[in-house]
Amino acid sequence: MRSADIRQAFLNFFAQHGHTVVPTSPLVPDNDPTLLFTNAGMVPFKDVFLGRDPRPYVRATSAQRCVRAGGKHNDLDNVGYTARHHTFFEMLGNFSFGDYFKRDAIRYAWTFLTETLGLPAEKLWVTVHTSDDEAERIWKDEVGVNPERFSKLDEDNFWQMGDTGPCGPSSEIFFDHGPGVWGGPPGSAEEDGDRYIEIWNLVFMQYDRDAEGTLHELPKPSIDTGMGLERVAAVLQGVHSNYEIDLFQNLLKAAAKATGYDDLQAPSLCVIADHIRSCAFLVADGVMPSNEGRGYVLRRIIRRAVRHGHKLGAVDPFFHTLVAALDAEMGDAYPELRRAREQIERILLKEEQQFSRTLEHGMGLLNAALDELSGDVLPGDTVFKLYDTYGFPFDLTADVCRERGVAPDEAGFQRELEAQRERARAASQFGADYTAAVDIDGETTFTGYEQLTDEARIVALVDA
């Protein structure tokens, strides 16, 4: 089954069960300054769960584009290392706003997986929250899931969109890809491996968490589910890694051609194929590379992709040329991508050209430092110099270090940043004015100079 067919089968199944098919929303959530990007299918429905946004339906289904590259859900560092994480992916979801609750959510999910998609029950593992005896009873007594493939977990089974907002206990469904890949069942010490891959999360939305962390009951218990399209495609296409599914084949080939590197298994090609999706869609949704907030996350992802291309031997700007392959793959499902294609190419090319001015020298410095290193920690002043002079975001340096089994000294780096900040503060008394503000881990709010994140300011200085 091709990815496009799975997406359609999902929407059809839930439409047949009374759900309204709601089109995908942009990656930048409207009216939600607490959230960096749309990181789950429920984000566009946040206010519906909270009872503030009445809709003409109580059941909805969608295939929502998501980015997880900052804030509460951040998978940037996983890309290139796991078989299952992307920065950009599509989440298939069904939602109940005060209509059905646990029983139907569980039954729909099980029916879709085992009947519509025909997955064997003995390959599916299920978890619920430790406190959730009701969901346990439904799974064991009504669905008949084998207790050997069932467990109750704590934090893993409490889902929240961000530090505030709708949340609740959840039930997750995993697929066992079989021996041959490292990893253990959910709840085991090896669960972070890639053998048992989580495919679907059913969230029993019951609470709204406020800024103090207090949970308030939602007006009505609701349902929010999310299934990663790429993960379920891997299962149905009989491959282990998301990067082996149909959707990625042409992207990987295009990346290989553009960089002149033809081992399609190379992790760097996967990183590039992943990153072109998030970068192109972010630009299509109106994010521009910049030194603050969302734009700075975009800039970091672009630079990271460009560095991986450089590693594979690309000499000329290559990243922007992949937009054509992405358009061919996804432009039918996402006309907004097709419409913005030329603009995306132009913006990515400009970023590449800008970074290529310092990348080569920065890599020379970094590689020399790593070659000479005794021990396994790259000193903070080197990390800072890369940052300050060559525009290497911290995570980019960390990514290179990780390939060599080294860790960057983050605390030392932070001290250098602080010293820089002191100097800038002194300078500002003589009229210098730095006003960009960014919180690279989450919210973007303008806070003025005092709370300025150093990383952004320094890149701003480098790029100025």
Residues that bind ligand ATP (CB under 6 A): 68, 73, 75, 84-86, 89, 91, 159, 198-201, 226-228, 230-231
Residue 221 to residues 147, 264, 334, 344, 461: CA-CA distances in angstroms? Answer: 27, 46, 32, 41, 49
For ligand ATP, the closer of residues 203 and 369 by Cβ is 203
For ligand ATP, the closer of residues 177 and 457 by Cβ is 177
Least separation in angstroms between residue 86's CB and ligand ATP is 4
| Residue among 66, 85, 89, 65 nearest 76 (CA) | 85
Q: Which does 439 bind (CB under 5 to 8 A by kind): ligand ATP, Mg ion, none?
A: none
Least separation in angstroms between residue 68's CB and ligand ATP is 5
Applying CB under 5 A, does 74 fall inside the site for Mg ion?
no
Q: Helices 380-390 and 410-428: crossing angle, nearest 10°?
A: 50
Q: Which does 199 bind (CB under 5 to 8 A by kind): ligand ATP, Mg ion, none?
A: ligand ATP
For ligand ATP, the closer of residues 135 and 458 by Cβ is 135
Q: Which does 231 bind (CB under 5 to 8 A by kind): Mg ion, ligand ATP, none?
A: ligand ATP
- Backbone angles phi and psi of 313, in degrees to 5: 105, 5
Q: Which does 68 bind (CB under 5 to 8 A by kind): ligand ATP, Mg ion, none?
A: ligand ATP
Name the strand (E) or helix (H) holding 90.
strand 88-96
Residue with the closest Cβ to Mg ion? 201
Q: Which does 84 bind (CB under 5 to 8 A by kind): ligand ATP, Mg ion, none?
A: ligand ATP
Residue with the closest Cβ to ligand ATP? 228
Least separation in angstroms between residue 156's CB and Mg ion is 6
Instruction: Give the CA dihedral 113, 117, 118, 124, nearest 10 degrees.
Output: -30
| Residue among 42, 166, 33 nearest 442 (CA) | 33
Give me the half-sphere count of Cα atoms (radius 13 Å) on the Cβ side of residue 250: 12
Compose the 173-212 pattern: x for residues touching Mg ion by CB under 5 A, - for all others. Answer: -------------------------x--x-----------
Least separation in angstroms between residue 443's CB and ligand ATP is 19
Least separation in angstroms between residue 247's CB and ligand ATP is 12
Least separation in angstroms between residue 126's CB and ligand ATP is 12
State the DSSP code for 19.
P
Least separation in angstroms between residue 62's CB and Mg ion is 17
Least separation in angstroms between residue 231's CB and Mg ion is 11
Burial of 20 (0-12, 13-18, 19+ CB in 10 A): middle
Q: Which does 301 bind (CB under 5 to 8 A by kind): Mg ion, ligand ATP, none?
A: none
Give me the half-sphere count of Cα atoms (radius 13 Å) on the Cβ side of residue 310: 20
Q: What CA–CA distance (Å, rounded) separates 445 from 213?
A: 20
SS3 351: helix
The answer to whether 23 touches 62, Cβ cutoff 8 Å, is yes
SS3 89: strand
Q: Which does 230 bind (CB under 5 to 8 A by kind): Mg ion, ligand ATP, none?
A: ligand ATP
For ligand ATP, the closer of residues 226 and 293 by Cβ is 226
Beta strands in 212-314 (DSSP E): 215-228
For Mg ion, the closer of residues 198 and 439 by Cβ is 198
Interface with Mg ion (CB under 5 A):
198, 201
